[in-house]
Structure 1
Amino acid sequence: MSSLADTIKAVRTVLLLQDKLAELTRTVEHQGARLSQLANAHSDLRDRVSRLEGVIEGAAMAARQRRIEE
């Protein structure tokens, strides 16, 4: 009877490990999706900062040009 109990315990352990692995897989997939969203947000922010830098540099060049002309 001991070997039957050991077998049942081993099967139970395998099933629990499968459940934990499935949960871990879902977590990793969710984190991957969040990481993708973060990368997209980073790209959008980089583009916005680049545009702002362009506006600031353009304004600075215009101000320097006005000083030269005066």
Structure 2
Amino acid sequence: MQVATLIGEGLFTFGDRDGPFPVAGLQHVLGIAPWRPDLLAIADTYNHRIMRYDPEARTLEPWPLRR
């Protein structure tokens, strides 16, 4: 089994950035849940946001989506 960091660069590298990896960043994740078969919902608590993570596209977007 291989474990890898998908978002961020380390324990004390904080962020609040949407977009593709490696630009995307989170502050303090307290929950991850399946959204659909192909997406994850991430609770980024210190930024007060729910983020949508797409592992195939390697992108992180806020929910609800800003258009």
Task: Give me the TM-score of the superposition, normalised by structure 2.
Answer: 0.15
Q: Which structure: greater strand fraction?
A: 2
Name the larger-Rg structure. Answer: 1
Higher helix proportion, which one?
A: 1
